[in-house]
Copies of this chain bind each other. A is one copy, B any other.
Amino acid sequence: MVKNEKILLAHGSGGKLMHDLVSQIFLKKFHNPILAKLDDMAMFKLGEANLAFTTDTYVVNPLFFNGGDIGRLAICGTVNDLAVSGAMPKYISAAFVIEEGFPLSDLEKILDSMVKAAEEAGVIVVTGDTKVVEKGGADKLFINTAGVGIIPEGINISGSNALVGDKVILSGSIGDHGIAVISQREGLEFKTQIKSDCAPLNHLIAEMLQVTRAIRCLRDPTRGGLASTLNEFVTQSNVGIFIEEQKVPIKEEVLGACEMLGYDPFHVANEGKLVAIVDPKDADEVIRVMQRNKYGKGAQIIGEVIPNPRGKVIIKTAVGATRILDMLVGEQLPRIC
């Protein structure tokens, strides 16, 4: 509940407190049917075009991490938020808040990284903004990217579309981004070789949509991890989801780091993975196509949509027990994206 009088770190964690803040404060103030859908992007018609529109500010710390940096993250994150609506991402805005004294050479490295990621995704940065705040007014650099994409006719993907019997597909191993960032963050005493999975998923998604337009739900499990995304789906679609833990790939090093830090890998952020809920008749072909793409190599069916218990994610553990997989409560990894 957002009864607290002050904003807590957990209000930005992607977990329960953030969902409460969004639904109890933001949605009440800005009440309109587009925002109320609570997808990662807005969809609307403008002129004759079906558009998707999204925004994210990136505050990741450190700015450079194994497998990426804030620049790559800022492009990929927004490209992915558009792509999971079925949109073809087209145009990106980039707005920088820079702390006075920030090295220009680091800014250039980050811009190079944005350019490279934008080229890979096939989007262009068309408008921007730069603000500089005094030393101590912001921690180094924050980047906001917003994006506009075009949704082809006949596509209707939303977190609220899951049907009982649908298959749940995950594109690869979970937790890589979160553990890569946290392991590199100043002050932590361990270091892994884990690389962030940060990647643009729009081409992978376009290939999936070539197989079938009947992709019901699609989302990239970022803050709050796979658990949050699955919980969002069951809430929005008013169904249950059953997951087999042993089908969810988690790298040994990620598991080890999670054990050391007391994290549940299902709550750790990803930046280059997707979860899709698809018609069971299409699932195998979708998997086959995904596995041919470098960002979908590890794709597999991890579970299915069930009628009950509504609004819950049930996970069958490796030893055969079942438990409820909750959304993250409290904070876990601040400034992970």
CB of A92, distance to nearest CB on chain B (Å): 9
- Are A5 and B104 in contact (CB-based, < 8 A)? yes
CB of A105, distance to nearest CB on chain B (Å): 7
| Chain B CB within 8 A of A111 CB | yes
| A75-110 interface code vs B (CB 8 A; 1 in, 0 out) | 000000000000000110111111111111101100
- Are B104 and A29 in contact (CB-based, < 8 A)? no
Q: Give chain B residues whose Cβ lies under 8 Å from the Cβ of A107.
A: 7, 25
| Chain B CB within 8 A of A158 CB | no
Distance, CA A105 to CA B6, complexed state (A): 8
- Are B25 and A108 in contact (CB-based, < 8 A)? yes
| Chain B CB within 8 A of A131 CB | yes
- Are B125 and A32 in contact (CB-based, < 8 A)? yes
Q: Give chain B residues whose Cβ lies under 8 Å from the Cβ of A21.
A: 130
Distance, CA A142 to CA B129, complexed state (A): 13
Distance, CA A178 to CA B118, complexed state (A): 36
- Are A104 and B2 in contact (CB-based, < 8 A)? yes
Q: Give chain B residues whose Cβ lies under 8 Å from the Cβ of A12.
A: 98, 130-133
Q: Give chain B residues whose Cβ lies under 8 Å from the Cβ of A144.
A: 55, 57, 95, 144, 146
- Are B55 and A97 in contact (CB-based, < 8 A)? no
| Chain B CB within 8 A of A54 CB | yes
Beyond A6-B100, A26-B130, A55-B146, 16 additional contacts (C-beta under 8 Å) are A6-B103, A9-B100, A21-B130, A22-B130, A25-B107, A29-B112, A30-B94, A34-B91, A34-B124, A46-B51, A46-B150, A47-B50, A47-B150, A51-B148, A59-B97, A134-B335
